[in-house]
Structure 1
């Protein structure tokens, strides 16, 4: 009876599968938000909105500064 051989073949097949049980550790909340907001189409929209907000704030700051400098 070849019960050892049959068990050995089954065990060898199991080892040849190379099953990877590696699971990535859970990401922090900040990292998940960063990945969601800063990649893909939503990332482009956020970057464009940020650039527009920066330009508008610089324009307003320049307008107010110019008003107070030249009001004499």
Structure 2
């Protein structure tokens, strides 16, 4: 009889006082694999480069517009 799989792994090197304990999050494999596939598709290759470029341009214009509006109200003549 084998113990059930858990997200905790413990390993010890012989002849040393070094111990390692790692805890992995346990989730349903179907949900995790679909999110992993989606993130790999959107963050790598030509599509990933295009997404990063579009995100950078959108962030630039958002900061630019917020700065423009803020500057308008700060330096508005009374």
- TM-score range for the pair, normalised by the shorter chain length: 0.5 to 0.7
Equivalence for 1:19: none
Any runs of at least 4 consecutive aligned residues in structure 1 with deviations exceeding 4 A, and if so which? none
Greater CA radius of gyration, 1 or 2?
1
Equivalence for 1:71: 76
Structure 2 residue 54 is matched with structure 1 residue 49: yes
Q: Gapped runs of 5+ residues in structure 1?
A: 1-24
Q: Which has the higher contact order (CA 8 A, sep 6+)?
A: 2
- For 2:37 and 2:47, locate their aligned partners in 1 and report how far apart those are by CA, in whole Å: 14
Structure 2 residue 57 is matched with structure 1 residue 59: no
- How many residues are paired up? 48
Bigger helix fraction: 1
Q: Gapped runs of 5+ residues in structure 2?
A: 1-28
1:10-39, CA deviations, whole angstroms, 9 ceiling, x for partnerless residues? xxxxxxxxxxxxxxx654322111011001
Normalised by the length of structure 2, the TM-score is 0.56
Bigger strand fraction: 2
